[in-house]
Structure 1
């Protein structure tokens, strides 16, 4: 039985050295489409060819290859987080919110793999 119901959106979050250059590379090499650059958050997104799937590019001084974190869209992050925590799921700190944009919360599966919930606040 599922504790939370995810929506039909998933973002694979990648660490990159230069978000703008990486977004351009994904556009030119794979035909992905730029969704947006959010410079104040150090974040960019490109839409893949698969409906509901985007790549999120988080700027890091020293990115670590192979560190993709699946980010699942959720309609109500507070309710979902409360339900997961009640079921014993561990989270990495508090929910982060960029007002008017997004709220995110990182959590771990039993083997320590990182996942993230994200509630779109632009709707």
Structure 2
């Protein structure tokens, strides 16, 4: 039995220089929706495309990039990557693939926070067997 009973939600918190700019970026690039800006707390939250998962943006004068790496599932990593790259999003190297398992690609938001796309290849591998 776990020590804590968790709910079916998670917030991925990141440090950013300007929550409003970051919120606009996440909305435009990944389709997230703003839940709220809490200016007095220096905090903003965004609804991601995954039920129960939100992205929290904590405003810091000197953010600590790379403090978490959220991984977002996509059905076609090549198409998703091309769309982001064509809009100026910076990626870290080539897409990496572990055959029959997963393809991943790391990219960065405007504050240098690392994020990752992942395409699950295990379903295709199972269907081929």
TM range (shorter): 0.5 to 0.7
Task: Specify the alignment match of 2:59 in structure 1.
Answer: 59
- Following TM superposition, the consecutive aligned residue runs of length 4 or more in structure 1 with deviations greater than 3 angstroms are none
Task: Specify the alignment match of 2:76 in structure 1.
Answer: none
Mapped partners of 1:32, 1:23: distance in 2: 8
**Unaligned stretches of 5+ in structure 2?**
71-129
1:54-93 equivalence runs, <5 A:
54-68=54-68
Higher relative contact order (CA 8 A, sep 6+): 1
How far off its partner does 1:69 sit? Answer: 9.0
Task: Specify the alignment match of 2:44 in structure 1.
Answer: 44
Name the Cα RMSD after superposition.
Answer: 1.6
Paired residues, number: 70
Mapped partners of 1:52, 1:61: distance in 2: 29
Task: Summarize the Cα distance change of 1:35–1:68 in structure 2 as closer, same or farther, 3 Å threshold.
Answer: same
**Unaligned stretches of 5+ in structure 1?**
71-123
TM score, norm. by length of structure 1 = 0.54
CA contact (8 A) 1:15 1:68 kept: no
Mapped partners of 2:22, 2:30: distance in 1: 11
TM score, norm. by length of structure 2 = 0.52
Q: By percentage of residues, which structure has more helix? A: 2
Q: Which has the larger radius of gyration?
A: 2
